[in-house]
Amino acid sequence: MDDIAVLIPCYNEDKTIEKVVSDFKRVLPDAVIYVYDNNSTDDTEKLAKKAGAIVRHEYQQGKGNVVRRMFQEIDAHCYILVDGDDTYPAESAAKMVKLVQEHNADMVVGDRLSSTYFEENKRPFHNIGNCLVRGMVSKLFHGSIRDIMTGYRAFSYRFVKTFPILSCRFEIETEMSIHAIDKRMQVENVIVPYRDRPEGSVSKLNTFLDGWSVIKTLIRLFRIYNPFAFFGIISIMLFLISLVMFVPVLITYIETGLVPRYPTLIVSGFLSVAAIQLAGIGISLQNMLHKNRQDFELELYHAEIQERTEKD
């Protein structure tokens, strides 16, 4: 088992990968540097090997697939995950590693948004999107993570080996953040300087497509991690619509003794039944979620035992 593993997912990053690997070898000389190439068509693999990295491959396209492969294959006491585009400084890694090794942090978040991100990043819609996602996570999940979508993080062994990765693309960062919040993992924020990509290096993000994917992921995770609130909100909305439709019919009946709008009454009744059913579904799923959280605590316990066994 490695002491520190630096994980760099890459797709066509030959303009920057050699510098990124060299910087981390300088800052963390005892770390093992892994570059996972995701079907690059340029010289990423050759330059990563030249700089001293161990190069492996993931042939399913998408960052989520790459991270999934990394977490499955590599065992380490501390992991650093960083993009290969040279937008994050290697100098911050030592502090992030220390928080994992000495302060029992499960995930350390490299917080760009509190430093130079909004000055350096030249894509205004990315800035808006990051703020939107941070606000949604804060409201929906009550988390204190200051940069939800950063690609610079450190992890403990137990986080990596108990994190079920479902996302295939760039939603992976959002999934990591919400998993850590929901499972009460110890999360630390470290402010890191951010620099925009150097000239000639091209972002693989599609602002609107990937932004919409992240929002869909947030909604999906809200349904999974807080089903009572998710289905409860829909239930209340349906009940209110039903009530709005029912009240005029009730008033007419009180005044005349007649029910002239049977279709309205029937639709109102169906909506009320649907609202009750959704509330019941939310309660049932919330109970199942509580059991899953109990099982997850046992998974953490077994992961810690496994790590201690590897150390001995």
pLDDT for res 152: 95
Same domain (yes/no): 213, 235:
no
pLDDT for res 138: 80
Same domain (yes/no): 25, 167:
yes
pLDDT for res 1: 76
Quote the CA–CA distance of 280 and 272 in Å, as a whole number: 13
| Mean confidence (pLDDT) of the chain | 88
Q: Predicted confidence band at 121 (pLDDT cuts at 50, 70, 90)?
A: low
Q: Predicted confidence band at 26 (pLDDT cuts at 50, 70, 90)?
A: very high
Same domain (yes/no): 24, 123:
yes
Same domain (yes/no): 243, 97:
no
Same domain (yes/no): 183, 244:
no
pLDDT for res 118: 65
Q: Predicted confidence band at 41 (pLDDT cuts at 50, 70, 90)?
A: very high
In the predicted model, what is the mean pLDDT of residues 58-64?
A: 94
Q: Residue 127 pLDDT > 70, yes or no?
A: no
Last residue of a domain, one of 171, 205, 225: 225
Same domain (yes/no): 250, 193:
no
The number of folded domains in the chain is 2
Domain hosting residue 249, numbered range: 227-311
Measure the CA dihedral 163/164/165/167, to 10°: -120
The closest of 102, 103, 5, 75 to 310, measured between CA atoms, is: 75
What is the tens place of the pLDDT at every residue in 9-25? Answer: 999 999 999 999 999 99
What is the tens place of the pLDDT at every residue in 225-274? Answer: 899 999 999 999 999 999 999 999 999 888 888 888 888 999 999 999 99
Q: 234, 219 in Cβ contact below 8 A?
A: no
Same domain (yes/no): 256, 210:
no
Same domain (yes/no): 87, 133:
yes
Quote the CA–CA distance of 92 and 120 in Å, as a whole number: 18
Q: 161, 74 in Cβ contact below 8 A?
A: no
pLDDT for res 33: 97
Quote the CA–CA distance of 99 and 105 in Å, as a whole number: 6
In the predicted model, what is the mean pLDDT of residues 144-159?
A: 91
> Both tokens of residue 240?
């209110």
Same domain (yes/no): 67, 104:
yes
Same domain (yes/no): 171, 23:
yes
Q: Residue 208 pLDDT > 70, yes or no?
A: no
Measured over the CA atoms of residue 13, residue 64, residue 93 and residue 77, the dihedral's sign is negative
Last residue of a domain, one of 175, 204, 225: 225
Same domain (yes/no): 221, 234:
no
Same domain (yes/no): 56, 148:
yes
pLDDT for res 128: 67
Q: Residue 211 pLDDT > 80, yes or no?
A: no
Higher pLDDT, 312 or 108: 108
For 280, left (φ over 0), alpha (ψ -120 to 50), or beta? alpha
Q: Predicted confidence band at 278 (pLDDT cuts at 50, 70, 90)?
A: very high
CATH number, domain at 174? Answer: 3.90.550.10
Q: Predicted confidence band at 44 (pLDDT cuts at 50, 70, 90)?
A: very high
Percent of the chain with pLDDT over 90: 59
Last residue of a domain, one of 225, 243, 259: 225
